[in-house]
Amino acid sequence: MALLASKDGRSGAADSFASLRAKMVERNIAARGVQDELVLEAMRKVPRELFLPKNLREFAYEDLPLSITGEQTISQPYIVAVMLEALMLKGGEKVLEIGAGSGYTAAVLSEIAAEVFTVERLGQLAGKAAAILARVLHADGTKGRPERSPCQAIVAAAGGPPRVLQLLKEQLKIGGRLLACEPIG
């Protein structure tokens, strides 16, 4: 994924962010027990700073959730890594993400999976994510993406009521994995 480039293919800021990203993966993700090499390598590649407002980019590689548009946050990098490791992806899968947010998790997923489809209910977030990523749908994620099913994995960062989870399960291939996180608060 070549999201950052200057005329000569390098820039001081990009080099600095790349170094911070590598340190973050080693100190805050691998050192805390994430072992899936596909996840670690994907996290090393994706420039998290691109998914943040300009005034917060200097904090991109702190292991913190950070505010984005619409009173939402970009997830803490360690949490993204743990969620993706739990999906047990081998590479080449079709994955659905419910709740694109900034698009960061979908970008990391796209380094592993063959196809990633993501849904975001907030128009402003969907638009910003779509400016960086392909396949961002502005829609109600509780319906999933039946037209893209079946998927080998579905991640719903904000979980949902049992009827929603049942609908998402129906969009999985047999043997697929659904990761639904319980909302906090």
Give Cβ neighbours of residue 126 (< 8 Å, ≥ 6 apart).
Answer: 100, 120, 136, 137, 138
Catalytic residue at 19? no
Are 88 and 47 a contacting pair, CB within 8 Å? no
Residue 99 half-sphere exposure, CB side, CA atoms within 13 Å?
18
Task: Return the sign of the alpha-carbon dihedral for residues 116, 118, 124, 127.
Answer: positive
Residue of 75, 102, 110, 149 with catalytic role: 75
Could you give the residue numbers annotated as active site?
A: 75
